[in-house]
Structure 1
């Protein structure tokens, strides 16, 4: 049993993470960042939940870059093959659920 106070979590570097669970190859991790990630495509599906802060999520759809703003409580679902990149506006804490070993 563990209680995690997500607003208190801060990693040493951008996109540092606290591993919360690994359930049959699906990981749940808490990330802290103040810098953009990189464009990537995951090996499987990804659920991206903003717990603190604001994140600009950029993604490719029909060969065009699209942008959506994610606020606290918003969830971004990346299906298999969705190319995307997260750009936080300041500090953000994000819960990511994805296949173990994904980028």
Structure 2
């Protein structure tokens, strides 16, 4: 049993994570960041839920770049092959569910 107070979680570096669970190769991790990630394509699907803060999510579809701001409580789903990058607007805490070892 675990109870995690996400609002109080911080990491020593941007995108540092607390591993919450590994369920049959699917990980659930809580990330803290105040810096952008990098453009990437996951090797599987990804669920990205903003628990605290705001995040500008940039993604490409048919070589066209799009952007949306995710508020606290918003969820972004990246399907297989979806190129994307997260840019926090200040500090953010994000729950990420994805295949273990994914980028």
| TM-score, scaled to structure 1 | 0.99
Who is 1:82 aligned against?
82
Structure 2 counterpart SS, 1:7: helix
Who is 1:33 aligned against?
33
Q: Which runs of 5+ in 2 are unaligned?
A: none
| TM-score, scaled to structure 2 | 0.99
| Structure 1 consecutive aligned stretches of length 4 or more whose deviation exceeds 3 Å | none
Alignment coverage as a number of residue pairs:
103
Alpha-carbon shift at residue 2 of structure 1 (Å)? 1.0
**d(CA) in 1 for partners of 2:88 and 2:18?**
18
**d(CA) in 1 for partners of 2:54 and 2:99?**
24
